[in-house]
Copies of this chain bind each other. A is one copy, B any other.
Amino acid sequence: MIAPPPADVFGRVRNATKLLSCTVRNHIVQVPVGGTTRWNPSAEQIKVLEALYRGGMRTPNAAQIERITEELGKHGRIEGKNVFYWFQNHKARERQKQKRAALLTLSTLDSPSLPEITTKVTKEACDDMTSCKRRRTTWGDVQRDAATTELAVHRTDDVTLELFPLRPQGKA
């Protein structure tokens, strides 16, 4: 028996995208099978969601999502998972914006005197720096590594987040 369509409480389904490749005017395209269309929020719905977000809502729980879905259903087709995803994405992307802003702030703040390099804090640069992933390092690690810190530091050029990237000649 093949597992029946798994779906959690909000209707999220794993590996659900059924696509069919074909060509349209000499271009290979993928067409969703089964009339699959993604949710396209109405202006009304977005307004409500943003209001909630501004009001402080970030990760609504099941009950909240049900409630919101019910409400937004009045303005167009919508499912719980749409609400769930909306908050996930909106939160994440707001955070990205903030992070980028913070870095800009910092890099401008801190480099009081780096005219040459300071000038190109472009979107790309920030995107590169954004990668502040969660790091594996624990304090234990750090302490153990203390001896080898120099090495580590040198090796971090590409791996670690550069907090204050604009450093001219490596003052100490």
Q: Does A131 contact B (CB under 8 A)?
A: yes
Count of chain A residues near B, Cβ 8 A: 62
The A contact surface, by secondary structure, is helix
Q: Does A117 contact B (CB under 8 A)?
A: no
CB <8 Å contact, B106 and A48: yes
Interface string of A108-121 (1 = CB under 8 A from B): 01101000000001
In the complex, 27 of the A-B residue pairs with CB atoms within 8 angstroms, ordered by the A residue number, are A8-B143, A8-B146, A9-B146, A9-B149, A48-B106, A48-B164, A52-B163, A54-B95, A54-B99, A55-B98, A55-B99, A56-B95, A56-B129, A57-B129, A58-B130, A58-B131, A58-B134, A59-B131, A59-B133, A62-B145, A62-B152, A63-B110, A63-B149, A64-B109, A67-B164, A70-B164, A71-B106
Other than the given A54-B98, A63-B142, A68-B163, 15 more pairs (CB < 8 A) read: A48-B105, A51-B102, A54-B95, A56-B127, A57-B132, A58-B134, A59-B131, A61-B106, A61-B132, A63-B112, A63-B153, A63-B160, A70-B164, A71-B110, A74-B172
